[in-house]
A and B are shown apart, each in its own frame.
Chain A
Amino acid sequence: MKGLATIFKKECLRYFTDYRMLIALFLPGILIFVLYMSMGNIMTNIVSTPAIENTVFHIAYTDDFGEGEYPKLVSLLEATFTSGGRGNTLKTYPLSEEESLSAKEEVKKGTYDVYLDYSPSFEDELLGEKVQTLNIYYNGASEKATYLYELTSSLVSFAYNGYLLNQENGFPIDSNVAEENFRMDQVASFLIPLLTTTFLFSPIISLAPESIAGEKERGTLATLLITPVSRSAISWGKILAISLASLASALVSFLGVFFSIPSILPGFQLSFDSAFPILILFLLSDILFVGIGIAISAFAKSIKEANSYLGGLLTLMMVVSLLSSILDFSALPFAFIPVFNISSCMSLILKSSTFPWLYMTITIVVTALAASLVVFFSNRLFRSEKIMFRK
Chain B
Amino acid sequence: MAILSTDNLRKTFSLPKEKGEPLFAKRKRLVAVNQLSLSFEEGEIYGLLGPNGAGKTTALRMIASLIKPEEGKIFYQGEDIEKNLTAYRKEIGFLTSELKLDGFFTPNQTFDYFARLYAMDEKEAKEEKEILFERFHISEYRNKKIDELSTGMKQKCSLALSLAHKPKIVIFDEPTNGLDIVASQEVEQFLLDLKKSNHLVLLSTHIFSLAEKLCDRIGILLHGELKKEDTKEKYKEEGGLEKVFFALYEKEGGDNL
Q: Which residues does A use to contact B, with CB under 8 Å?
A: 2-3, 6-7, 10, 13-14, 18, 214-215, 218-220, 222-229, 385-386, 389
Contact = CB atoms under 8 A, between A and B. Distances in A.
A3 B117 contact: yes
B257 interface: no
Contact of B114 (A14, A222, A227): A227
Interface in B65-94: 65-68, 86-87, 89-90, 92, 94
B119 A223 contact: no
Contact of A227 (B14, B99, B118): B118
Contact of A222 (B99, B113, B117): B99
Contacts of A13: 109
Nearest to B158: A223
Contacts of A219: 96, 98-100
Contacts of B190: none
14 contacts: A3-B117, A6-B116, A6-B117, A10-B113, A14-B102, A14-B104, A218-B102, A220-B101, A222-B96, A223-B95, A226-B94, A227-B118, A228-B86, A385-B67
B108 interface: no
Contacts of A3: 116-117, 119
Contacts of A225: 66
Nearest to A222: B66
A95 to B, nearest CB: 77
B102 to A, nearest CB: 6
Q: Is chain A's binding surface mostly helix, strand, loop or mixed?
A: helix
A89 B118 CA distance: 87
B161 interface: yes
Contact of B161 (A7, A10, A223, A228): A223
Given A2-B119, A3-B117, A222-B66, A228 B102 contact: no
Interface residues on B, range: 20 to 34
A225 B117 CA distance: 11
The 8 A-B residue pairs with the shortest CB-CB distance in the complex, in nearest-first order: A219-B98, A219-B99, A218-B100, A228-B86, A227-B117, A6-B116, A228-B89, A385-B67
A389 B14 CA distance: 13
A302 to B, nearest CB: 13
A220 B117 CA distance: 14
Contact of B64 (A2, A14, A220, A226): A226
A220 B100 contact: yes
B56 to A, nearest CB: 15
Interface string B105-130: 10001000110111100000000000
Contacts of B14: 386
A223 B162 contact: yes
A6 B92 contact: no
A225 B119 CA distance: 15
Contacts of A18: 104
A133 to B, nearest CB: 72
Contacts of A14: 102, 104-105
